[in-house]
Amino acid sequence: MKKQLEALRQAAGAAIAQATDSAALDGVRVQYLGRKGDLTGVLKQMGRLSAEERPVIGQLANEVRCAIEGLLAQRGAKLQEDETALRLKAETLDVTMPGRAKALGHKHPLSIVIDEVKEIMLGMGFSVAEGPEVEWDYYNFEALNIPKGHPARDTQDTFFITESMLLRSQTSPVQIRVMEQQKPPIRIIAPGRVYRSDAVDATHSPLFHQIEGLVIDKGITMADLKGTLNQLAARLFGEGTKTRFRPHHFPFTEPSCEVDFTCFRCGGKGCPMCKGEGWIELLGAGMVHPKVLRGCGINPEEYSGFAFGWGVERLAMFRFQIDDLRLLYENDMRFLSQF
């Protein structure tokens, strides 16, 4: 038995030295010192020993157990140290490593233009109103003095959802919605998407954007319209930008006009951008028709107002010198990243 115990000590020592991680070491402990382990196996044979031999072997067995426990503890501590070092190494953070740059998005040219106009108009005391893109025929046409069969409907043919529901062909219906809900004084702009059944080309799209403006109060005249648009022109294209009002016809304004700005590129002398004219046509405008006011419950004897509407695409195309409207919708990064 002495030999057996010595052999056990040797074998355990070798196994402990070879254990490469804590889990393996634990396996070794169980194999040699466990309740069903090798040492227990040897001690079970003690019954066969004589009374003199028993204490000697007992003491030796204790020594072997102590020795193995000592080796296990030693090795365990060492393995723990190694494992900690390894983990620390794996988890080190190189603070000198350059960061990964996040690609930041930016505004679409149409949004840039809309935000600019909003900013200027908010500064003049306007607030922003919204209306639905799926609109009733009543708001898009009828209430704007464009009854069924009116020729103005032809130029704004749009997409009908039912006989009385359509995709709005202009932002002007927002005027009606606001006047129905708000008492004068009213000062709003309404930017948004509009639709027309136009074929796509360099200057047309079935979906485009407009910005509507509406002011209703006591004693509002064309002079207020002109003053407001002059201010807008100066802020958008620079001091000295002039406006030109040409007589026109819209069913929902009387009188009506189209408004041109002096070409901001040549200042009015004539250049390729304004096709030699010196002027760029930008807006439709006028004094809100008494019939429209009355339809919204506003007394035209007491109140008057002006309205205007303009195309955002057209504005963006001049502003950024874009010659094809389709570029605004194609989402080509080579185009979009220039703004």
Which residues sit at the interface with ligand DAH, rule CB under 6 A?
Answer: 170, 172, 212, 250, 253, 284-286, 307-309
Report the DSSP pairing between strands 243-248 and 253-262. antiparallel
Q: How far is the CB of 331 from ligand DAH (least distance, A)?
A: 26
Amino acid at 53: E
Compare residues 57 and 282 and give the one whose CB is closer to ligand DAH: 282
The answer to whether the CB of 140 falls within 8 A of the CB of 260 is no
| Nearby residues of 70 by Cβ (< 8 Å), 6 or more positions away | none
Q: How many of the other CB atoms lie within 10 Å of CB of 39?
A: 20
CB of 116 vs ligand DAH, minimal distance in Å:
19
Q: Which residue is listed with tokens 């639905």?
A: 132
Query: Between residues 191 and 309, which has the closer beta carbon with respect to ligand DAH?
Result: 309
Please state the closest distance from residue 309 (CB atom) to ligand DAH, in A: 2
Q: What is the DSSP letter of 222?
A: H
Number of H helices, E strands in the chain: 12, 9
Please give the single-letter amino acid code of residue 65: R
Closest CA to 229 of 285, 177, 180: 285
Cβ 253 vs Cβ 146: under 8 Å: no
Q: In whole angstroms, what is the distance from residue 225 CA to residue 222 CA?
A: 5
Output the DSSP codes for 91-116.
Answer: T---TTSPPPPP------HHHHHHHH
User: Nearest approach, Cβ of 253 to ligand DAH (angstroms)?
Assistant: 4
Which residues lie below 8 Å from residue 54, measured CB to CB, with a gap of 6+? Answer: 46
Strand order in the sheet with 127-128: 127-128, 186-195, 207-217, 304-311, 279-288, 253-262, 243-248
Residue 107 CA to residue 109 CA, distance in Å, equals 6
CB of 148 to ligand DAH, least distance (A): 18
Position closest to ligand DAH via CB:
309
Tell me whether residue 61 or residue 229 sits nearer to ligand DAH (CB atom). Answer: 229
- CB of 247 vs ligand DAH, minimal distance in Å: 13
Give 145 or 262: the residue with its C-beta nearer to ligand DAH: 145
The minimum distance between CB 156 and ligand DAH, in angstroms, equals 7
Beta strands in 164-295 (DSSP E): 165-167, 186-195, 207-217, 243-248, 253-262, 279-288
Give the separation between CA 152 and CA 248, rounded to whole angstroms.
13
Q: In terms of CB distance, is 110 or 307 closer to ligand DAH?
A: 307
Nearer Cβ to ligand DAH (212/313): 212
In the bound state with ligand DAH, the residue whose beta carbon lies nearer, of 229 and 274, is 229
Residue 245 or 279 with smaller CB distance to ligand DAH:
245
Q: How far is the CB of 285 from ligand DAH (least distance, A)?
A: 5
Query: Among residues 192 and 309, whose Cβ is nearest to ligand DAH?
Result: 309
* Rounded least distance, CB 307 to ligand DAH, Å: 3
